[in-house]
Amino acid sequence: MKSSVRVGLMGLGTVGTGVVRLVQGHQNDLQKQTGLSIEIKKVLVQDLDKERSISIDKELITTDPLDLVASDDVDVIVEVIGGINPAKQYILDALDNGKHIVTANKDLMALHGAEILKKAEEKGCDVFYEASVAGGIPILRALVEGFASDRITQMMGIVNGTTNYIMTKMSQEGADYNEVLKEAQQLGYAESDPTADVEGHDAARKMAILSTLGFHVDMSLEDVDCKGISQVTSEDISYAKKLGYEIKLLGIAKRDDNLIEVSVQPTLISRKHPLASVNGVFNAVYVYGEAVGETMFYGPGAGELPTATAVVSDLVTVVKNMKLGVNGRGSVAPYMEKRLKNDEQIISKYYLRLVVADKRGVLAQITRILSEHDVSLEQVLQQPYNGGAQAEIIIVTHKATRKDIYAVRREFEGQDSVLEVKSLYRVEGGEEE
């Protein structure tokens, strides 16, 4: 009978260092929970001589992945190197060698999760990836286990801390987008190339993972309609506040009669909704189940120890499964047919900001166009613009189909009196919800 479980750790960056700290510092607790000690046997790095913030035996460090994936002395691979290649091949090779996998790799699981899980099922191995979404928040385990007897109909999430930090600073301080982005980069919240965060790609990968687990369908990244925050202005945020909303980059996944929509986009969220008060680098995921109703999971979405906590939690689950002899039986492959909504089936309220000629009859013309496309008004603001020669008209509609609202936008863009359609964003929450 084993007295310890031997871990091969791939990566000794921020998260990898956190994993080592937790395994070393919580060894007694981990042994009490699992009945086995957890031993880090090998650590894969790129540079053997790099100075590190944690003390680790140099005999454990290697630059050869075969020392982990093909070694008889390693039971579980913890992958925190990130990216698609070579991480994907390392994991597939490790599974071929009968090793269990814990990963924090959202890119890999969003794009190739189905292939990896299928291989794990064939080999009778565990693959857990709680840390790939929302850092230290145990949302994936909640979807798989906590909602096992329920039917999830909606998930909305703030799942990218960088964009939430930017939107919070713009909202609370009236700061300019470019200024806050530069500050986020200086603080280490945003990369030197922030595209994956600010254009919504990071959040889209996480929403693909959440919707796959929550709706039991094989949701691919291409199925997620994605728009980032780079065009959101301080004016939009100010007007949203006047109308009773905050603007957040929201991941939205909804299921109605087995028809699914998944998107990431700047969204006006009612200030009465709990997601509206999630600020800074924090993440939150709101889940609606038919039986349980509304729940929300909130916490730090990144960082060394929050993310490492999720990794080690998955590691504990693997060890417990090893003791029970049930590895490879915990995950449920997608079993529902994927049926995506079209533009006529996606229904929401919308926010529009227009620059128009400030003359008689323009508002009546706008109202007529909306009415012709079966779009009705919930709120309207009109403000002077450009010294009074023009005006801004800010509209929140009642619920309308995306097909109709896009048709409205096209018609507005063809009107001489409408000089520019400045903004078009989705609206969630409020009286109709």
Residue 339 CB neighbour total at 10 angstroms:
12
Q: Are 370 and 408 in contact (CB under 8 A)?
A: yes
Residue 86 CB neighbour total at 10 angstroms:
12
Q: Which residues contact 375 (CB under 8 A, 6 or more apart)?
A: 397, 398, 400, 404, 405, 408
Q: Report, in angstroms and rounded to the nearest whole number, the Rg of the chain calculated over CA atoms.
A: 24
Identity of residue 299: G
- Catalytic site residues? 206
Q: Cα(64)–Cα(61) distance, rounded to whole angstroms?
A: 9
Q: How many degrees, rounded to 5, is the angle at CA 272 between CA 267 and CA 275?
A: 50
Residue 213 CB neighbour total at 10 angstroms:
25
266 preceded by a cis bond (ω within 30 of 0): no
Residue indicated by tokens 């509304």: 294
